[in-house]
A and B are shown apart, each in its own frame.
Chain A
Amino acid sequence: MKRAIDIAMLPAIPEHIRVAVLEVTTRLKGTPGALLPILHGVQDALGYVPEEATPLIAREMNLSRADVHGVISFYHYFRQQPAGRHVIQLCRAESCQAMGAVALEQHVKRRLAVDFHQTTSDGAYTLEPVYCLGNCACSPAMMVDGELKGRMTPERFDAWLEAEST
């Protein structure tokens, strides 16, 4: 029976998170349908949407914590932990699946020893699924830190990873 408003009053929110969230909410909360732009704004500012940000966003938007959590968790784009230094997105859409994306996914997971939405133990890579990078002609596709890589195979992935880590 803890009320949203009480939670937000607890001093448990690190100052940089509080400042970043309030900057974004103050700027955007007057606009219609502000929650998604606010979540984008917070992720842009902090690299992720920290758990501690939720009560504050809820209070500012006059929503419940559950409301905000439901939206954050619905969109895989919003990460709830900081990402690794690099973000690898593997396409799992139809064209890529037809061209071996499932085998690639299994290989990449095993090679990095993570599942989707996880970060390698050294903090280097975060692995995310994505549904169509629009690169179907060169399936299967992968994107690293916003840079597209087509015709990916387990072997090419390993080669890329080797090159990256040296």
Chain B
Amino acid sequence: MLSIVEIDYGTPKSTSGTMVELDIDGRSVCVPEGTSVLRAAAQAGIAIPKLCATEMLDAFGSCRLCLVEIEGRKGYPASCTTLVSAGMKVNTQTPKLAEIRRGVMELYISDHPLDCLTCPANGHCELQDMAGVVGLREVRYGYDGANHVHPEIDMEKSGYGWTALGADDQGRSPKTVPNPLFVGKDESNPYFAFDPSKCIVCSRCVRACEEVQGTFALTIQGRGFDSKVAASQDNRFLDSECVSCGACVQACPTATLSEKSLIDKGQAEHSVVTTCAYCGVGCSFRAEMKGQEVMRMVPNKDGQANHGHSCVKGRFAIGYATHPDRITTPMIRARISDPWRVVTWEEAIAHVASEFKRIQARYGKHAIGGITSSRCTNEETYLVQKLVRAGFGNNNVDTCARVCHSPTGYGLKSTMGESAGTQDFDSIESTEVVLVIGANPTDAHPVFGSQMKRRLRAGARLIVIDPRRIDLVRTPHVQADYHLKLRPGTNVAMLNSLAHVIVTEGLLDEDFVARRCEPEPFARWRALVAQDKYSPEAMESVTGVPAEMVRDAARLYATGGNAAIYYGLGVTEHAQGSTAVMGIANLAMATGNIGRKGVGVNPLRGQNNVQGSCDMGSFPHEFTAYRHVGDDAVRHSFEQAWGVTLLAEPGLRIPNMFEAALDGSFKGVYIEGEDIAQSDPDTQHVTAALTAMECIVVQDLFLNETAKFAHVFLPGSSFLEKDGTFTNAERRVSRVRKVMDPKGGYADWEITQLLAQAMGYPMHYTHASEIMDEIAALTPTFHGISFDKIDELGSIQWPCNEEHPLGTPVMHVDEFVRGKGHFMLTEYVPTSEKVSTEYPLILTTGRILSQYNVGAQTRRTANVMWHDEDRLEIHPHDAEERGIAEGDWVGIVSRAGDTVLRAMISERMQPGVVYTTFHFPGSGANVITTENSDWATNCPEYKVTAVQVTRVNQPSEWQKRHRAFTETQEALLEQSVKPA
């Protein structure tokens, strides 16, 4: 069912600039060339009946309802597949058309249940609407003939001939026999049901799966009247190739595919546009509401990042927001071995303020700090860093981007001058060569992954650089031209090899470099990568990739037309993460692939607001928009606005906080929405640091892993419960809108404000928009941004200011933000984390489509049906050598620690490399990862850990301790003392 508020124009919008004038029903209509007659009419307010057409999909012409008459043309062409032409005269309503349409509807309805009043789509069913529109009054064929509606056939009424169905020994048929065309409901998917008896075989679901999602999980099985929609090989949806994105459900014009929430609770009465709180794609959604309850989430067709598409997480996995595990009252305790005590907000806030003041009085003002999450809104992260800098009086604020994209900020800033991706997502529509390195878009950024696959199916070439055979390498109708299956930890070697080929084979864009880049650094870089040691042949033994393939890939990237690089955490989370980001920027500059549509350098941000949390000054050394705290002019502007003196010295990064906690100089921390105990590397080190602290304040939805070490718990609010903005991977600032009251009573920014006031620093915002106004006033790249303006434009890509009043889809167009592009030197330095006889395998980590990060949200949804434990992926060769079979328990030991997971044998791995996800706390994925980190930003080296894997029969010691600790903490929560 489509959104309850959107108008559907029937066929996709034409992007042509040439206008065509035609006549429809005596009205003059002017539309872009390439527009269908159906859409032209719809835009003019003339509704032509339709069933198989929707503007999300290409015209199909199967339902035969949208027929029209066109003067000078024979017959009755379908208006969806007929494009407008100049001077065309169209009649959409004639007696003959009325007769045809009624006849068509009569056939549809003769094979459709007549249960409209009890149907979940009642009132929003397109079949029902069309029956009304064409004036259907009778069905001359009756309902007893061959049909898909009734489980049984009445042999007398049906007119069926003899059938073997139910016949006895003598060949006599009973009075009723099972209907061979009837198929019962498929309710296997946790979020939607498939009721084939209501299906009109318009193929919208099949086409949505192909065109929009690109999974090709659905088909029309059989032919003629026997045709039916089938998933994979007529499997249940859950057993099929379906990835549960829900595009089919949205496309269905009847109730055949319906959200279970719609079936259970009925339809919404209003709808609010908001932004998804999962990955960095930042999909726009319409939250369809009944009062304060979400009925369903429907991706917004006007959403500029997602154009009406979504994935299984954004559309369906929102149940966590109302999960019983939510903690909705503040709690405090003196020691982490004590039961929690439920307290009022006043008491909780006063307690935190007094503890923080006590700690500062005793250990100095640098003994406390704050950590925010990329899941918080811009306004929230801004406020926390303001609280820390202005209220705590130090710069000890950091954000979880420390452990994901901090190298992106550093690497792109130093080469091009801005810590952000250069393009909008739609730029890929003009891309001819896509280079994906260290990213897995179909799992981690599914909606953009679908857009990328669409472009690849349309002919763009693809280079994948990844140790694993990710889906993009080969997935139905998409195949990479080159998969450079490198060894983990050798990105910089690979990037230098690619650069070597470009430099030594004369593939540079010399003109671009001469005009746009600084000559000396370029010359130095050129000399560096031109050295023989970086030739693909010399690097082959390091990367493990055949030299000829590297050469071919480099040639394709440099000469294949518009080339765009997309990268993810597989680039940043390395000892040379920043170097690799610089290497990527160098490649783009050297080949002139910067500054226009279709090219660029595109970090795929992990979380919804990684870009935003970094933009908002969440790093200890930077104010908003990456301006160093040591910059006097910038600092003075903040001092003036905030009315305090600020420190010019950077504060502690997250890993420094742990170190300081362990050496006794860091004692208190305010953590908003971040779960460092699960997500940061070397878990035992993290938990030791947490245990050494005196006041840990966790503000979150759930008692997460970190909260189990906390002394104060402040109930946070979900994205449905507050106003604010998120900034996605393409610098797009979108609104988050409150659709229900905060379960704990306050939006997160209000809690920060209460805390600031209690600490003696005044904050008096009455709405999140006022925080954005302050950000805009203090930040040149945000000068033009306000909630009102976002409401007006839908979303805004920063920079948005006097120079770019409508925002900036593509950056560095005429010149780089820093002026001239700067080639940074990218000497390859192998990581110190090396395989040995003791630790012969490399472990690398990642995520899976159905789960999200530490899983705090998705583990509390039905998404666990697809992934209910983290497993260790291992190549059959490595498994066989160790006597490991599918599903065996295996111990994974590194220099940092060990854990136990079940094995999944997979040819996606290369021999010598194992892989796991980190969605479940008990998995202990980060017990194994080491303290190694990026040389520039301390971003942990999650992607390279030397390990040994062996069969075992019991959990690791850490897992046993973790389980016992978890049980204790859950008991302490159970025993929480409530006020009388």
Cβ-closest chain B residue relative to A102: B161
| A64, B220: Cα distance in complex, Å | 13
Distance between A97 CB and nearest chain B CB, rounded to angstroms: 13
B171 touching A113, Cβ below 8 Å: yes
Q: Which residues of A contact B231 (CB under 8 A)?
A: 66
Cβ-closest chain B residue relative to A54: B233
Distance between A49 CB and nearest chain B CB, rounded to angstroms: 11
A51 touching B233, Cβ below 8 Å: yes
B230 touching A66, Cβ below 8 Å: yes
| Contacts known (A64-B216, A64-B232, A109-B163); A2 close to B171, Cβ less than 8 A | no
Distance between B478 CB and nearest chain A CB, rounded to angstroms: 8
| A155, B545: Cα distance in complex, Å | 73
| A69, B240: Cα distance in complex, Å | 12
| A2, B171: Cα distance in complex, Å | 42
CB under 8 Å from chain B, chain A span 52-87: 54, 58, 62-67, 69-70, 73-74, 76
A73 touching B243, Cβ below 8 Å: no
| A136, B104: Cα distance in complex, Å | 33
Q: Which residues of B contact A69 (CB under 8 A)?
A: 219, 221, 230, 232-234
| A104, B478: Cα distance in complex, Å | 49
Cβ-closest chain A residue relative to B209: A66
Binds B, one of A3-11, A19-27, A137-145: A3-11
B223 touching A74, Cβ below 8 Å: yes
| Contacts known (A58-B476, A110-B171); A65 close to B164, Cβ less than 8 A | no
Cβ-closest chain B residue relative to A108: B162
| A64, B164: Cα distance in complex, Å | 34
B232 touching A9, Cβ below 8 Å: no
Distance between B104 CB and nearest chain A CB, rounded to angstroms: 23
| A74, B171: Cα distance in complex, Å | 30
B242 touching A1, Cβ below 8 Å: yes
Partner of B243 from A1, A62, A66, A102 at Cβ < 8 Å: A1
Question: How many A-B residue contacts, CB cutoff 8 Å?
Answer: 97
Q: Which residues of B contact A109 (CB under 8 A)?
A: 161-164
**Binary contact track B200-241/A, C-beta < 8 Å → 1, others 0:** 000000000100000111111111000000111110001111
Q: Which residues of B contact A6 (CB under 8 A)?
A: 906
**Quick check: is A118 within 8 A (CB to CB) of the other chain?**
yes
Cβ-closest chain B residue relative to A112: B164
Interface centre among B165, B239, B240 (most CB of A within 10 A): B240
Q: Which residues of A contact B850 (CB under 8 A)?
A: 1
**Quick check: is A114 within 8 A (CB to CB) of the other chain?**
yes
CB under 8 Å from chain A, chain B span 151-200: 161-165, 167, 171, 180
**Quick check: is B639 within 8 A (CB to CB) of the other chain?**
no
**Quick check: is A115 within 8 A (CB to CB) of the other chain?**
yes
Partner of B476 from A63, A73, A105 at Cβ < 8 Å: A63
Q: How large is the interface on B (under 10, 10 to 19, 20 to 34, 35 or more residues)?
A: 35 or more
| Contacts known (A51-B233, A62-B479, A115-B163); A70 close to B219, Cβ less than 8 A | yes
B476 touching A62, Cβ below 8 Å: yes
A3 touching B162, Cβ below 8 Å: no
Q: Which residues of B contact A65 (CB under 8 A)?
A: 232-233, 240-241
B241 touching A3, Cβ below 8 Å: yes
Interface centre among B163, B221, B232, B477 (most CB of A within 10 A): B232
Distance between A51 CB and nearest chain B CB, rounded to angstroms: 6
Q: Which residues of A contact B27 (CB under 8 A)?
A: none
| A62, B223: Cα distance in complex, Å | 24
**Quick check: is B507 within 8 A (CB to CB) of the other chain?**
no
Q: Tell me the interface secondary structure of chain A in the complex.
A: helix
Distance between A70 CB and nearest chain B CB, rounded to angstroms: 3
B217 touching A64, Cβ below 8 Å: yes
B164 touching A4, Cβ below 8 Å: no
Q: Which residues of A contact B180 (CB under 8 A)?
A: 115
Distance between A93 CB and nearest chain B CB, rounded to angstroms: 15
Interface centre among B231, B239, B240, B241 (most CB of A within 10 A): B241
| A74, B224: Cα distance in complex, Å | 9
B244 touching A66, Cβ below 8 Å: no
A67 touching B164, Cβ below 8 Å: no
B219 touching A66, Cβ below 8 Å: yes
| A65, B209: Cα distance in complex, Å | 13
**Quick check: is B866 within 8 A (CB to CB) of the other chain?**
yes
Q: Which residues of B contact A58 (CB under 8 A)?
A: 476
B232 touching A66, Cβ below 8 Å: yes
B479 touching A4, Cβ below 8 Å: no
| A63, B457: Cα distance in complex, Å | 12
Q: Which residues of A contact B222 (CB under 8 A)?
A: 73-74
Interface centre among A1, A5, A110 (most CB of B within 10 A): A1
Partner of A113 from B164, B240, B474, B908 at Cβ < 8 Å: B164
CB under 8 Å from chain A, chain B span 78-97: none
Q: Which residues of B contact A3 (CB under 8 A)?
A: 241, 471, 475
Interface centre among A3, A69, A114 (most CB of B within 10 A): A69
Q: Which residues of A contact B70 (CB under 8 A)?
A: none
**Binary contact track B883-917/A, C-beta < 8 Å → 1, others 0:** 00000000000000000000000111000000000
Q: Which residues of A contact B239 (CB under 8 A)?
A: 2
A2 touching B240, Cβ below 8 Å: yes
A67 touching B243, Cβ below 8 Å: no
B241 touching A2, Cβ below 8 Å: yes
Partner of B233 from A66, A114, A115 at Cβ < 8 Å: A66
**Quick check: is B98 within 8 A (CB to CB) of the other chain?**
no
B477 touching A63, Cβ below 8 Å: yes
**Quick check: is B849 within 8 A (CB to CB) of the other chain?**
yes
| Contacts known (A62-B479, A73-B222); A67 close to B474, Cβ less than 8 A | no
Distance between B919 CB and nearest chain A CB, rounded to angstroms: 15
Q: Which residues of A contact B906 (CB under 8 A)?
A: 6, 9
| A3, B478: Cα distance in complex, Å | 14
| A62, B850: Cα distance in complex, Å | 23
B161 touching A66, Cβ below 8 Å: no
Q: Which residues of B contact A114 (CB under 8 A)?
A: 164
A106 touching B162, Cβ below 8 Å: yes
CB under 8 Å from chain A, chain B span 92-110: none
Cβ-closest chain A residue relative to B172: A110
**Binary contact track A115-134/B, C-beta < 8 Å → 1, others 0:** 10010000000000000000
Cβ-closest chain A residue relative to B215: A64
Q: Which residues of A contact B232 (CB under 8 A)?
A: 64-66, 69
| A135, B908: Cα distance in complex, Å | 55
Q: Which residues of A contact B167 (CB under 8 A)?
A: 113
Cβ-closest chain B residue relative to A127: B164
| A70, B230: Cα distance in complex, Å | 8
Cβ-closest chain A residue relative to B469: A5
B161 touching A64, Cβ below 8 Å: no
Cβ-closest chain A residue relative to B473: A5
| Contacts known (A73-B221, A74-B223, A110-B171); A63 close to B216, Cβ less than 8 A | yes
CB within 8 Å of A: which residues of B?
161-165, 167, 171, 180, 209, 215-223, 230-234, 238-244, 471, 474-479, 849-850, 866, 906-908
Given contacts A66-B216, A66-B232, A110-B162, 11 further A-B contacts (CB under 8 A): A1-B849, A3-B241, A54-B233, A63-B477, A65-B232, A67-B476, A69-B219, A70-B221, A73-B219, A73-B222, A115-B164
CB within 8 Å of B: which residues of A?
1-6, 9, 51, 54, 58, 62-67, 69-70, 73-74, 76, 102, 105-106, 109-110, 113-115, 118
Listed by A's residue number, 26 A-B pairs whose Cβ atoms lie within 8 Å are: A1-B241, A1-B242, A1-B849, A1-B866, A2-B240, A3-B475, A4-B241, A5-B908, A9-B906, A9-B907, A62-B476, A62-B479, A63-B477, A64-B476, A65-B233, A65-B240, A66-B232, A69-B219, A69-B221, A70-B219, A73-B221, A105-B161, A109-B161, A109-B164, A115-B163, A115-B180
Q: When A and B form their complex, which 4 residue pairs have the shortest distance between CB atoms, in order from nearest? A: A70-B219, A64-B216, A66-B219, A64-B476
